[in-house]
Amino acid sequence: MSVHLNSVRKLRVHWPISAETFGRIAAGDATAVRQDPGLAELLHTVEQFPDLGDFGNYKHVFESGIGFEGFSCGEGASPTLGRVGEQTISPTFVFTTYFDAGVDRAVLERAMQELVAIHPWELPVIEVTGPLSVAGALHRRTPSAAAAS
């Protein structure tokens, strides 16, 4: 088996969701992702940038997870959820995708501007890593036992 490593960067967006959407996703209902208006807008926005999640024959590739985001708002904040001075816990969808490390900086900046513009939080949590390596293609000499079953 040979492994080809691609130099990529990771984009991760933390997106607030309702308790209902959280419960549906946790129960395995994948349709909840596209039926939640905010998540649908997130996916639509990301899909407008073909470099994001481009794995050759596979496009718009992403991973997701659900969890909770916690924060306390300070004086001067205008929170969408919670109150100044109180600890708030928000159900959260975490969207992760990868893109080639050589993507033009202007393309990345446009994508970031679009994501910040649609994000419901006053201060969105959007992470972009520096270059890292991921396996791009696996070539097996013989089928695995699982594939032969």
Helix, strand and coil in the chain, % to nearest 5: 30, 35, 35
Place of tokens 């446009």: 110
- pLDDT one-digit tens code per residue, 25-69: 999 999 999 999 999 999 999 999 999 999 889 999 999 999 999
Residues 6+ apart with CB under 8 A from 145: none
Mean pLDDT confidence for 87-94: 96
- pLDDT tens across 97-142, in order? 999 999 999 999 999 999 999 999 998 999 999 887 766 554 444 4
Residue of 142, 138, 140 lying closest to 6 (CA atoms)? 138
In degrees, rounded to 5, the angle at the alpha carbon of residue 91 between the alpha carbons of residues 53 and 28 is 65
pLDDT at residue 146 greater than cutoff 90: no
User: For residue 144, what pLDDT is reported?
Assistant: 44
> In this structure, which amino acid lies at residue 127?
E
Residue 130 CB: number of other CB atoms within 10 A? 7
